[in-house]
Structure 1
Amino acid sequence: MSSSNLSEVSDQLAEMFSDTEEFSSSSSSSSSSSEDEEPTPAQGSSHEPEAEGWTSTGSLQTFPFSGVAHFTIGPAESPIDFFNLIFNSTFMAMLVSSINSHGLHLMVKSSDGPNAFKWNNTNEDEIRIFLALLFHMGHITLTNLNDYWSTDVLYDLPFKTFMSQDRFLSILRNLTFSDNNSYNNTDPNRYVKPIMVFFNSVMKTLVNPSKNLTIDQSNVLWRGQLRIRQTGNGQKYGVKLFALTDTNGITQKMHMYCGSQATVLQGEDHADKVVMMLMEDYLNTGRSLYTDNFCNSVTVAENLLQQRTYLTGTLRANQLRNPMITKSRIARGTLLTRYNARGVCVTNYRDKSNVLMISTEHHSDFVQSRNRHGKVKQTPKVIVEYKKYMRGVDRKNEMLSYYQSFKKSTKWHNQIVIHVMQVMLLNCFNMFNEQMKRSGDNSRPMSFYDFRLKVIKRLLKLDTPTDRLTQASNIPSTSASQKITTDAGDVIHSPAYLPKNDIGKTKRKDCRHCLKKRNIRKASIFYCPLCIKKPGLCITCFGEFHRY
């Protein structure tokens, strides 16, 4: 067939299939493509992030900090004053109501069973004693919870003086923060959400934080079956909590991660939503946020920039919209930097391993820094600033780990409530020391241990080690027994007669020691007026009970 005939056939085919996608694409490909040309990547493709306009040089946005860091604490001065600021009457009323409601619910639920649960309503005074004992357990680590009430000679602890073991365990079992209508709810957050809401609200009222804030995530250990259980961050299994903290270690806001069970913050961009939720009260003021790689991405950085808020932190290499340098292998001591047009800087620095950083506030210029061994070295400024402001979070987590209360419990939400109350107590301490510093007090800052002891003693009405004994010794008695004091000043308990009734007959009490140790009921006309519960004791058991 001649070339003219071939041309004529081609024209006819083109006319017949001119409307089809297959022919038009193939004809355009054959007519416009050449072997030397490469395909152009699609704009916005996640496979070619450099198409977004990443360059090796660029500038960052600047805006001033318009907030003012201050406390709203009134005349608070002593440790117990700061304790009462956060553990206020609203908190106590909510906690008492929740515990009583849950206790009555369990009692009704188990009333027909062989192991019926009995519950007597608690009150604020008893809860304050309960919290004091709970916090004091953080100072004394024991394997078994029962050992705190043991009368064995190896365990000489004051817990039994203030509350019985059965009562403590009964309150601990009902330690929730929920309302009356939450028992049929499938939301795993139902037992702890009210305390989170209260905590976030009261901290917003008391503290206006400084410019630099951090978001930290931690796991509260829990090994049992739980739909929202997570792994990582030093704990093999646990419930993940996010916390917004300032540079003084004061936690401003908390959020519990519920994964697929979440009712609001869920989906693929869950981390982005958490960041914006925690920061919602502090946007548009020129604040700087420092976070780890779980929360960071180019999109989050740009969203915060639109709200006049900086972001700095580590970055994961597999995040969408990352520049190509995040996957580059470079020599030790070198770095690569890329900027986009919106003011986001991404850095790949090689030290012992690759460190990826993202920032909208700090460049990657090398500056001198000193490591923990005192050695001076050249480090990118973005890394120096990140370590500087994340140190407050590390210190907070370290201090929380020192005095953890007894961990074994029947329910996971007990652990969350206890953890939140530990954070509240640490906030009281940090606010106390920061206020002392602002007031010009140049004395040595109080340690967390001493602060806790002062609070516990006030909750138990023990300003000094002998206050409780002194108060008990003022109780009138029909006995001529007096308080005996040794040469060293130690108070020795001595027996006293029980008072007489209306007809002049001496009352009697069962000897507590005979009943508990020998399982014998033995009536006695003697008791100890210096013990908090004034137990009945026979003369034979008096010395053994007090370990004389």
Structure 2
Amino acid sequence: MSSDNLFDELAEMFSDTEEFSASSASSSEDDEEPAPAQGSSHAEAEEWTATGSLQTFPFSGVGHFSIGPAESPIDFFNLIFSSTFMSMLVSSVNTHGLRLMLESTGPHSRSLKWNNTNEDEMRIFLALLFHMGHISVSRLNYYWSTDKLFNLPFKLFMSRDRFLLILRNLTFSDSNSYSDTDPNRYCKPIIDFFNSLMKTLVNPPKNLTIDESVVLWRGRLRIRQFIKGKRHKYGVKLYVLTDTNGITQKMHMYCGSDDALLKGKGHADKVVMMLMEDYLNTGRSLYTDNFYNSVTLAEKLLQQRTYLTGTLRANRARNPGITKSKIARGTLLTRYNARGVCVTNYRDKRNVLMISTEHHSDFVQSSNSHGQVKLKPKVIVEYNKYMNGVDLKDQMLSYYQSYKKSTRWYKKIVIHVMQVMLLNCFKMFNEQKKRSGDNSRSMSFFDFRLNVVKMLLKKFDTPTDRLTETEVSNRPSTSSSQRVHTIAYLPKNDKNKTKRKDCAHCLKKRKVRKATLFYCPLCIKKPGLCIPCFGEFHRY
């Protein structure tokens, strides 16, 4: 047996032990010929070499915001939740509400009570919806509970039935562009609006990240996906492009076989090219995980003057032979091809495969969260540094979820997109403070949300502010304002009979004359009120 063969057998026997030295493993693997990947030609296998060079592109973009004079949290909110967005939202909600009202058959259906909303009311609705993320209760009705254990302000600004009615009609529908069977018919317009708006407002920095987010949904839905490694394993999958600060630049809702853009062969490549189409040819760096990465995708992005870095799966086509090699802990193997793609196999606690068109695999010092310094390949250090944008976004959104389990799936998508918009407002606000030289402490996401909610409701700080002049005149005087108004029977006349009154609220709000035996003795005009209208009239 030759010395070379003996060394190879010893290397394989001790490949998983600490005693096998880094120098001997490297020299052994550097001399061997890389094995061709399955399905690749012998010519493709021979193009990988132990040394090589990477292409370099100057970054021609400039990371900045086009936001005008925005300074306060509410300014950034109005920048993204603009009048255009609000008018689209109001139009979609009113259209959906009218359609449900016409389709309703039951005489007591809540949909029959629908009245068109407006921008002011929708801003109150959004403020209450976001505030629900700060206060978690088990049932939606508890936000309006009069029990002293649930002393919440929601009933001061909008009645429970009105809120639920708007929530039921919360869509971004576009019946002219999508059929009734298209899953995109309720969500695509708001996603398209968001993508177009962010493209206008933000010119992102050099480093970008692509990953998937999952909006939880366990019900029956043909576009529902299963992703094993996610916190929510079942749900609607969104492909998301963010920068390293967590500002979402673009998103796409994946509809499976109904997705004309992404279905079919080369799905992962299509996702990357679709999300990056506005940011190619500028020298940007893209970081993705092993779901997307391949040698073919790396070369395709190089042709568009864009770097790619990320983890790699061992079974990808055109991989060099080192991706399946067994090496000792603390050692690595590197291969380059002629087009500037670098593939690294590094062994720490387990094998880590990396692909990059920007970073080499030289060892550099890196410290962990405990301050311990360790030598790691530069490609892994850079990947860990920048591959966190989408995860950071999902983490911050998870703190203040505004939707409940019973919400329909497309409403959860619409609310999720609006939550992402609010998070972008917060990220842009803090980033703008930093760029303007403001050294004050950055605002937390919780404080930012509370500030926005307070400013949206500031115009309606008290229930009286939302009443008409006629309704104000019916409110109790100052001396009785501290007392709780209770319903009472109308007094009887001399003949011991009760003369009925028309319900003032039904006549005012619903244009219906409805006789009632009840009234409010503490209100100034002592209006007649039926039982269902009593609480709504007094904003209880």
The structure 2 residue matched to 1:526, chosen from 505, 512, 522, is 522
2:292 is equivalent to residue 298 of structure 1: no
> Which residue of structure 1 lines up, in the alignment, with residue 94 of structure 2?
100
Q: Distance in 1 between matches of 2:185 and 2:539?
A: 45
Number of equivalenced pairs: 473
SS of structure 2 residue aligned to 1:272: helix
> Which residue of structure 2 lines up, in the alignment, with residue 168 of structure 1?
163
2:193 is equivalent to residue 203 of structure 1: no
2:399 is equivalent to residue 402 of structure 1: yes
SS of structure 1 residue aligned to 2:279: coil
Q: Distance in 1 between matches of 2:96 and 2:503?
A: 34
> Which residue of structure 1 lines up, in the alignment, with residue 271 of structure 2?
274
**Would the aligned equivalents of 1:54 and 1:339 in 2 still touch at CA under 8 Å?**
yes
Q: Could you list the per-position Cα deviations for residues 444-494 of structure 1 after superposition, in whole angstroms to 9, with x for gaps in the alignment?
A: 00111111011111111269xxx437958998769995489xxxxxxx846
> What one-letter code is carried by the residue in structure 2 that aligns with 1:189?
N
Structure 2, unpaired ranges of 5+: 1-34, 486-500, 506-515
**Would the aligned equivalents of 2:217 and 2:235 in 1 still touch at CA under 8 Å?**
yes
> What one-letter code is carried by the residue in structure 1 that aligns with 2:63?
A
The structure 2 residue matched to 1:227, chosen from 216, 222, 230, is 222
Give the drift of 1:537: 13
Give the drift of 1:90: 1.1
**Would the aligned equivalents of 1:527 and 1:535 in 2 still touch at CA under 8 Å?**
no
Instruction: Give the TM-score taking structure 2 as reference length.
Output: 0.80
Q: Distance in 2 between matches of 1:245 and 1:472?
A: 40
SS of structure 1 residue aligned to 2:184: coil
SS of structure 1 residue aligned to 2:87: helix
> What one-letter code is carried by the residue in structure 2 that aligns with 1:522?
F
**Would the aligned equivalents of 1:228 and 1:259 in 2 still touch at CA under 8 Å?**
yes
> What one-letter code is carried by the residue in structure 2 that aligns with 1:177?
F
Q: Distance in 2 between matches of 1:535 and 1:326?
A: 81
> Which residue of structure 2 lines up, in the alignment, with residue 84 of structure 1?
78
**Which residues in structure 2 correspond to 1:244-255 (within 5 Å)?**
244-255=241-252
Q: Could you list the per-position Cα deviations for residues 506-532 of structure 1 after superposition, in whole angstroms to 9, with x for gaps in the alignment?
A: x99889xxxxxxxx9631242499xxx
**Change in 2 beyond 3 A, CA 1:359/1:537:** same
Q: Distance in 2 between matches of 1:441 and 1:209?
A: 21
Q: Distance in 2 between matches of 1:382 and 1:139?
A: 40
SS of structure 1 residue aligned to 2:211: strand
The structure 1 residue matched to 2:451, chosen from 435, 450, 454, is 454
Give the drift of 1:149: 1.2
Identity %: 70
SS of structure 1 residue aligned to 2:185: coil
C-alpha RMSD of matched pairs (Å):
3.4
> What one-letter code is carried by the residue in structure 2 that aligns with 1:239?
V
SS of structure 1 residue aligned to 2:233: strand
Give the drift of 1:128: 0.7
> Which residue of structure 2 lines up, in the alignment, with residue 65 of structure 1?
59
> What one-letter code is carried by the residue in structure 1 that aligns with 2:383?
Y
> Which residue of structure 1 lines up, in the alignment, with residue 69 of structure 2?
75
**Would the aligned equivalents of 1:192 and 1:417 in 2 still touch at CA under 8 Å?**
yes
2:9 is equivalent to residue 51 of structure 1: no
SS of structure 2 residue aligned to 1:431: helix
2:185 is equivalent to residue 190 of structure 1: yes
Structure 1, unpaired ranges of 5+: 1-40, 485-491, 497-506, 512-519
2:207 is equivalent to residue 212 of structure 1: yes
**Change in 2 beyond 3 A, CA 1:272/1:42:** closer
> What one-letter code is carried by the residue in structure 2 that aligns with 1:194?
P
Structure number with higher relative contact order (C-alpha < 8 Å, ≥ 6 residues apart): 2
Give the drift of 1:356: 1.1
**Would the aligned equivalents of 1:508 and 1:524 in 2 still touch at CA under 8 Å?**
no
Greater C-alpha radius of gyration: 1
**Would the aligned equivalents of 2:144 and 2:160 in 1 still touch at CA under 8 Å?**
yes
2:436 is equivalent to residue 439 of structure 1: yes
**Would the aligned equivalents of 1:242 and 1:255 in 2 still touch at CA under 8 Å?**
yes
> What one-letter code is carried by the residue in structure 1 that aligns with 2:61?
G
**Which residues in structure 2 correspond to 1:477-488 (within 5 Å)?**
481-482=477-478
Could you tell which deviates more after superposition, 315-324 or 281-290?
315-324
Q: Distance in 2 between matches of 1:401 and 1:362?
A: 33
> What one-letter code is carried by the residue in structure 2 that aligns with 1:326?
T
Q: Distance in 2 between matches of 1:528 and 1:216?
A: 61
SS of structure 2 residue aligned to 1:180: coil
> What one-letter code is carried by the residue in structure 2 that aligns with 1:82?
F
Give the drift of 1:395: 2.2
SS of structure 1 residue aligned to 2:111: coil
> Which residue of structure 1 lines up, in the alignment, with residue 327 of structure 2?
330
> What one-letter code is carried by the residue in structure 1 that aligns with 2:60?
S
**Which residues in structure 2 correspond to 1:338-357 (within 5 Å)?**
338-357=335-354
> Which residue of structure 2 lines up, in the alignment, with residue 503 of structure 1?
none
**Would the aligned equivalents of 2:518 and 2:529 in 1 still touch at CA under 8 Å?**
no
Could you tell which deviates more after superposition, 347-356 or 130-139?
347-356
> What one-letter code is carried by the residue in structure 2 that aligns with 1:297?
S
Give the drift of 1:283: 0.7
Q: Distance in 1 between matches of 2:518 and 2:204?
A: 62
SS of structure 2 residue aligned to 1:77: coil
Q: Distance in 2 between matches of 1:474 and 1:95?
A: 25
**Change in 2 beyond 3 A, CA 1:364/1:185:** same
Instruction: Give the TM-score taking structure 1 as reference length.
Output: 0.79
**Change in 2 beyond 3 A, CA 1:52/1:426:** farther
Give the drift of 1:298: 0.8
Q: Distance in 1 between matches of 2:306 and 2:475?
A: 73
Give the drift of 1:142: 1.0
Q: Distance in 1 between matches of 2:394 and 2:213?
A: 9
> What one-letter code is carried by the residue in structure 2 that aligns with 1:357?
M
Could you tell which deviates more after superposition, 402-411 or 445-454?
402-411
> What one-letter code is carried by the residue in structure 2 that aligns with 1:167?
R
Give the drift of 1:404: 0.7
**Change in 2 beyond 3 A, CA 1:524/1:370:** same
**Would the aligned equivalents of 1:409 and 1:415 in 2 still touch at CA under 8 Å?**
no
**Would the aligned equivalents of 1:297 and 1:315 in 2 still touch at CA under 8 Å?**
yes
Q: Distance in 2 between matches of 1:117 and 1:100?
A: 12
**Change in 2 beyond 3 A, CA 1:170/1:535:** farther
